[in-house]
């Protein structure tokens, strides 16, 4: 089972100073920053998923997350050099897709088949997913002849037509990547129908899209229907799905790979499950920067509190947290300082009980990953992208370990 991590230009600055909050003034983003596979060894995933929408945008008016210089280097140097894959102990694979979520509101995908092939082949990807149009609805009782399914059928037909063109053009152009067809559907039967047609086109690798909103039992229903028509040589990829506890069942139904940002994004998007351990999750300790918190800045501007007071409370909380990590103070003064600072920027909720658990357990001390070992308590502080992304990288590390435990240590 292979785990692909979707690229969104998420790196960390190795020279960032956590005490002064300063960067090297000569730092160049991406060139000097480090990807998760460069700071964690072994890499916490088997490959990267790179979307054309992230790199190039979807229209001339909608840009991606790459700068013009970064796009130029990716195309000119190739993916292996751009992502510095040689630094990994095992070469990571790269899968390309179109980023269908980015143009879900459009009537028709914004890319031609040849434009997508140019992207995959020009960057030197290992796998390339055909152009698709995502379907978000899940209605297992509605068949394709029902008037309510008209738009879903239209999107599925577009996806299959483009998959056929994609397969033909890949053969004609003798591409260097393995083509992957996309199955979009709204029910177990519709997914099975799409997979059947993709297999007839010659696809041996098929990605199942549009399943992100589905519950686990709904995904399993679709996989079981697909498994009834899946040839033994056909391998499935789940787009945007992790569900670590269910991976062995997914594998038994033909899934050989998946991609997900969930472990990474929960580090700073989830309300509670911010820091992963093999057995549980912890809430991160929120110590926002005075000049980076909208609520706090608004109160300062209105004159409710002074900026000097806010900075004093912020620094007191940080100082006590670091002293606690050095075993110089007890836990209660730290919690008091956190509560005092929280009343300035978030007076509506008190997370003291949650923070007590995180800080009392000190999970970062038991974690063998290089990030926790290097920055200590900073890894559990919800404060700015440098800490939050490092915690996200740590979560990827734990997720990968849990995945291997689920499947057996010999799985590759």
Which positions are catalytic?
97, 259
Q: What are phi and psi of 208, to 5 degrees?
A: -100, 115
Question: Comparing C-alpha atoms, which of 377, 394, 271 is closest to residue 19?
Answer: 377
**DSSP secondary structure code for residue 160 in this structure:** H
Give, for 2, the enclosing helix (H) or strand (E). Answer: strand 2-6
Q: Give me 142's structure tokens.
A: 């509605």
Characterize the bridge pairing of strands 275-276 and 281-282: antiparallel
Q: 208 - beta bridge partners?
A: 183, 238
- Reduce the DSSP state of residue 28 to 3 states and report it: coil
Distance separating alpha carbons of residues 182 and 178, to the nearest angstrom = 13
Instruction: Report the C-alpha gap between 195 and 197 in whole angstroms.
Output: 5
Question: Which of 261, 262, 266, 269 lies closest to 281 in space, CA to CA?
Answer: 266
């Amino acid at each position: 089972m292979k785990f692909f991590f979707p690229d969104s230009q998420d790196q960390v600055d190795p020279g960032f100073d956590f005490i002064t909050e300063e960067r090297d003034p000569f730092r160049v983003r991406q060139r000097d920053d480090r990807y998760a596979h460069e700071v964690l060894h072994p890499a916490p995933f088997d490959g990267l998923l790179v979307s054309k929408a992230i790199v190039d945008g979807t229209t001339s008016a909608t840009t991606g997350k790459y700068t013009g210089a970064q796009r130029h280097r990716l195309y000119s140097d190739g993916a292996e050099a751009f992502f510095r894959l040689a630094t990994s102990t095992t070469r990571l694979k790269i899968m390309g897709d179109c980023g269908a979520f980015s143009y879900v509101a459009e009537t028709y995908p914004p890319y031609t088949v040849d434009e997508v092939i140019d992207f995959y082949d020009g960057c030197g990807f290992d796998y390339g997913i055909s152009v698709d149009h995502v379907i978000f609805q899940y209605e297992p009782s509605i068949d394709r002849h029902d008037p309510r399914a008209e738009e879903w059928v239209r999107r599925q037909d577009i996806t299959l037509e483009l998959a056929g063109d994609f397969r033909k053009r890949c053969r004609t152009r003798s591409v260097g990547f393995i083509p992957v067809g996309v199955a979009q559907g709204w029910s177990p039967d519709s997914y099975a129908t799409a997979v059947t047609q993709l297999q007839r086109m010659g696809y041996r690798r098929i990605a199942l899209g549009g399943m992100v909103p589905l519950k686990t039992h709904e995904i399993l229903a679709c996989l079981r229907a697909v498994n009834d028509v899946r040839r033994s040589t056909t391998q499935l990829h789940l787009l945007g799905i992790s569900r670590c506890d269910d991976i062995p069942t997914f594998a038994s139904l033909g899934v050989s790979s998946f991609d997900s940002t969930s472990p990474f994004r929960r580090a700073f998007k989830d309300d509670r499950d911010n820091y992963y351990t093999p057995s549980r999750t912890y809430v991160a300790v929120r110590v926002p920067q005075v000049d980076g918190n909208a609520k706090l800045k608004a109160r300062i501007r209105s004159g409710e509190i002074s900026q000097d007071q806010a900075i004093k409370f912020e620094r007191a909380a940080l100082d006590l947290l670091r002293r606690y990590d050095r075993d110089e103070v007890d836990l209660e003064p730290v919690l008091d300082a956190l509560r005092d600072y929280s009343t300035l920027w978030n007076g509506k909720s008190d997370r003291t009980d949650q923070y007590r658990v995180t800080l009392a357990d000190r999970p970062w001390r038991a974690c063998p990953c290089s990030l926790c070992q290097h920055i200590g308590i900073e890894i559990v502080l919800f404060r700015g992208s440098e800490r939050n992304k490092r915690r996200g990288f740590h979560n990827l590390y734990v997720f990968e370990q849990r995945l291997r435990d689920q499947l057996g240590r010999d799985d590759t």
